[in-house]
Amino acid sequence: MKIAIFGAGQLAMMMIQGDHANHHDYVVIDPTTNPPASRYGKHIQTEYDDEDTLKRISDECDLATIDFENVPVEAMRELEKHICVHPNSNALEICQDRLNEKKLFSDLGIRTTMFDKINSLDSLNNSIEDHKSYILKSRRFGYDGKNQYRINPGDRIKTNLISQECILEELVDFESEVSLICVRSIKDEVLFYPLVENKHNDGILSISVCPSNYNDLQSEAEKIGNKLLVSMNYVGVLVIEFFVTSDRKLIANEMAPRVHNSGHWTIEGANISQFQAHINAISGGIEKNQIISYKPSAMFNILSEFVTEDKLCLLKEKYNVHVHDYHKSERMGRKLGHITYTCDKDGQLSEDISAIKKILQ
């Protein structure tokens, strides 16, 4: 098959790398110069909704997918007239809008924090109770903590975020954050990875650990995953992010209609990486009753201002780590790569994570 990937960042790069047997040919569409995936697939440097590009993809490719959720929905709808697109445009439209996400969660009986639609400063003031804390978020184009504004009791609100459509969410008093990697194939085969526990710094994912401390919540998370996959007729990898409350309840936060940073550990830590699983799912390569197996693993994001070459060399000398370079230029807070650590015992994982964190500080 010939597969078009809209977006040519590190996620597209790792999708192509995950196709170990080279079953498919790849074209990546991205308006930037020399994006990471352009090293591994033919790069068409245009805007995602360029008419000539969409016509070319329709004529030359068998199916299309994405490596980030903000690809124009109408472009994907146009492609769907001619070739298969996974995830489908309706699912993409839901996941691009935080309000639509929350409404879908509510419609399916999935627990969320309290939320409200915000279109003006008046509607914001009317939605806030003095004794509660909130997060104001843009409905679109937010990631890594961007386009968010925290509101504490008694705060005088000063933000230009209100100039765009927003959603107000009551702040959750949570114990931890976990994510579930779900996979559904065109043949309706479904796979789930174990719940992954995530730690963030300044809104950016710092560490993902598998297994999490919440294995008892796996069944509940998978039921939620099944509801969402079926309701959206979703094919490919879908990642659901949850808060875990102190009484061990799951609160759905948001979804990512793509392979996800919290699943990077699967490259070395699982028998099938999330990237291989996604390509297999959309192309029909997932076998019936396939099972995910894994080793205790951790993923550490490499940010430009924190990790030096000396630190990486020290890690390689002491631990079973794999360093993944995204071939990106440095910029404050930018993800330049990630480190995966795997071991044989859960107890060893916790101990070595602490040691690795000290080296990376």
Q: Does domain 114-170 have CATH number 3.30.1490.20?
A: yes
In the chain, where are the structural domains located? Answer: 2-85, 114-170, 174-360
With 0-12 CB in 10 A as exposed, 13-18 as middle and 19+ as buried, what is 39? middle
Q: Does domain 174-360 have CATH number 3.40.50.300?
A: no
Residue-by-residue DSSP string for 133-199: -EEEEESSS--TT-SEEEE-TTPPP--GGGGS-EEEEEPP-EEEEEEEEEEE-TT--EEEPPPEEEE
CATH of the domain spanning 2-85, picked from 3.90.1150.10, 3.90.226.10, 3.40.50.20, 3.10.450.50: 3.40.50.20
Per-residue tens of pLDDT for the chain, all 361 residues: 999 999 999 999 999 999 988 889 999 999 999 999 999 999 999 999 999 999 999 999 999 999 999 999 999 999 999 999 999 999 999 999 999 999 999 999 999 999 999 988 888 888 998 889 999 999 987 666 678 889 998 888 888 888 889 999 999 889 999 999 999 999 999 999 999 999 988 778 889 999 999 999 999 999 999 999 999 999 999 999 999 999 999 999 999 999 999 999 999 999 999 999 999 999 987 777 788 999 999 999 988 766 778 888 888 888 999 999 988 888 777 888 999 999 988 788 988 999 998 888 7
Please give the model's pTM, rounded to 2 decimal places. Answer: 0.94
Token code pair at residue 122: 């008046």
